[in-house]
Amino acid sequence: MQHPSKQCALYPHRFDRWRLLPLLFVAAGGLNGNSALAAEHKASLSNFVVAGDSLSAGYQNSQLIDSSQIHGYANVIAAQAGVDLNLPLLPPPGFPQIQNEGGFAVATYYTFVARLNDQQTRDVAVPGFTVGALVDYPAACTPDPSSPLPYPVQVMAAEILNPNCLTPAPTQLAEAAALLPSTSILWIGSNDALFAILFGGDPTDAATFGYLHQIAGSTMAQASGKLVLANIPDVTLVPYLTSIERLAGVLDLSVATVETALGLQPGDMVTPYAFELIQAMGVSLSPLPDSIAQGPVVIRASKISQIRTAVAAYNAIIAKEAADNHALLVDVYSLINDLAANGVVVKGQKLTTGFMGGLFSLDGIHPTNTGYAIIANEFIKAMNRSLAAGIPPVSVEQVSKTDPLIFPDGHPGKRTGHVSEQMANALRAVMR
């Protein structure tokens, strides 16, 4: 099955119907006629809606579970503003413990959970979604009683594994727009770059990304009283990837030895799948393969450069889209760059973006509770400055006091640890 971003490139005519959305909303009388109110008018969060991917869903440690969902940046913003997103909380054991053979389950499960009791979540973000999936994938599906899959797994898998849904639900974009937000956040696109690391291949090309993100952004701008867009972080900075220098430290070898023995070049990085291969080699190291059946092993410097170029292109598109739609732009890209370069001191301890550094969870891609709180404050700062939202910032120090993923400076994992293959497998199963 083709990835949604590839489908978008092959079948652009499938998205023509979205050009009609603004007219449909106007015809229904549901639009605020001025979707981009001047900044001096205070934003209302009475109907606060969030759309996006796993970052907006509160995903952490390769899992979606209630204990981390409540710490996601979107829920933190809502809590600080005194509003309820009605999160579709997943009790233990959470997800992705429940999986189907194809590994595509979460794409339909997340928003369906909110409908179990006829309740509508206002955080409609779905882990694993690209901008193409947000625009064109139904976010849920009525189960087929003839399906051999057990309920509710058949609901989770229905739209993606079984194209003959009984009653396909709206896409995530349509669902978010139909809620007619007083203020909305749209943060989508990280997976368009990240999937090149998780699965190989190339990032979504900039033209396709721009076409699809424009559809998403303009639709949400038309539907919302105020729209907040966020740009894309440099996904090559995440601790899912290990640099040659850190790998040399883990192996207690020189950089030159590691490069020569493992067939690496300056600027290359390795994924979690490299470590078990290296362990199996023993003392006789040999060049690593670029990939194995489970996924990419070595991300070459040329691929790193290509991904960073794609992220820069995406962010230029998002910036223009924010200007065109009179939307607020939150600069997450610069925030993560600053944290990667300098870290942040919390309660006298320096937290970093390294593995077990306190800002990223054990899957090496999604933030810790503290990391999400820092991101939430970046949104809050921008919304207060430009939209007069009046949201109190969250105390990062208070969050860090109970964050189970802030480890003492002397913890050996900070020097030799890395994302486990099990975490990588779970990420790939959901993000597929």
Cis upstream peptide for 93 (omega within 30°): yes
Averaging pLDDT over each range in 48-52, 84-88, 140-144, which range is the top one?
Answer: 48-52
Average pLDDT over residues 360-382: 98
User: In CATH, what class is 4-12+42-235+302-431?
Assistant: alpha beta
Residue 115 pLDDT class (50, 70, 90 cuts): very low
Close Cβ partners of 139 (under 8 Å, ≥ 6 residues apart): 107, 108, 110, 111, 124, 126, 169, 170, 171, 172, 175
Q: What share of the chain is helix, strand, coil (3-state, %, to 5)?
A: 45, 10, 45
Any idea which of 56-65, 233-242, 389-398 has the lowest mean pLDDT?
A: 56-65
Average pLDDT over residues 212-219: 98
Cβ proximity of 241 and 200 under 8 Å? no
The answer to whether residue 148 scores a pLDDT higher than 50 is: no
The answer to whether residue 140 scores a pLDDT higher than 60 is: no
Average pLDDT over residues 32-47: 60
Q: What is the mean pLDDT of the chain?
A: 83
Residue 313 pLDDT class (50, 70, 90 cuts): very high
- Percentage above 90 pLDDT, the chain: 67
Any idea which of 25-34, 202-211, 381-390 has the lowest mean pLDDT?
A: 25-34
Would you say the pTM of this structure is higher than 0.75? yes
CB neighbour class for 225 (10 Å; exposed up to 12, middle 13-18, buried from 19): buried
The answer to whether residue 299 scores a pLDDT higher than 60 is: yes
DSSP 391: P
Cβ proximity of 255 and 245 under 8 Å? yes
The answer to whether residue 6 scores a pLDDT higher than 50 is: no
Average pLDDT over residues 25-42: 41
Any alpha helices (H) in 325-406, and if so which ranges? Answer: 332-342, 369-387, 396-401
In this predicted structure, what is the pLDDT of residue 169?
Answer: 64
pLDDT digits (tens, 9 = 90+) for 397-411: 999 999 999 999 999
Q: Distance between CA 273 and CA 405 in Å, rounded?
A: 22
Residue 17 pLDDT class (50, 70, 90 cuts): very low
Average pLDDT over residues 195-203: 97
The answer to whether residue 156 scores a pLDDT higher than 60 is: no
In this predicted structure, what is the pLDDT of residue 64?
Answer: 84
The residue among 316, 315, 344 whose CA lies nearest residue 332 is 315
The answer to whether residue 31 scores a pLDDT higher than 70 is: no
Residue 21 pLDDT class (50, 70, 90 cuts): very low
In this predicted structure, what is the pLDDT of residue 247?
Answer: 97
Phi, psi of 124 (to 5 degrees): -95, 15
Domain ranges for the chain, please list them. 4-12+42-235+302-431, 242-299
The C-alpha angle 305, 307, 308, rounded to 5 degrees, equals 65
The answer to whether residue 116 scores a pLDDT higher than 50 is: no
Average pLDDT over residues 30-49: 62
Alpha carbons within 13 A on the beta-carbon side of 252: 2
The residue among 381, 401, 404 whose CA lies nearest residue 391 is 381
Cβ proximity of 326 and 36 under 8 Å? yes
The answer to whether residue 112 scores a pLDDT higher than 50 is: no
Q: Distance between CA 221 and CA 207 in Å, rounded?
A: 21
In this predicted structure, what is the pLDDT of residue 167?
Answer: 54
The answer to whether residue 199 scores a pLDDT higher than 50 is: yes
Is the dihedral angle over the CA atoms 135, 136, 137, 139 positive or is it negative?
positive
In this predicted structure, what is the pLDDT of residue 119?
Answer: 65
Alpha carbons within 13 A on the beta-carbon side of 103: 11
Distances (CA, A) of 403 to 74, 244, 366: 17, 30, 14
Question: How does 10-22 read in b/e, with b if 16+ C-beta sit within 10 Å?
Answer: eeeeeeeebeebb
Any idea which of 24-33, 77-86, 284-293, 366-375 has the lowest mean pLDDT?
A: 24-33
Cβ proximity of 182 and 83 under 8 Å? no
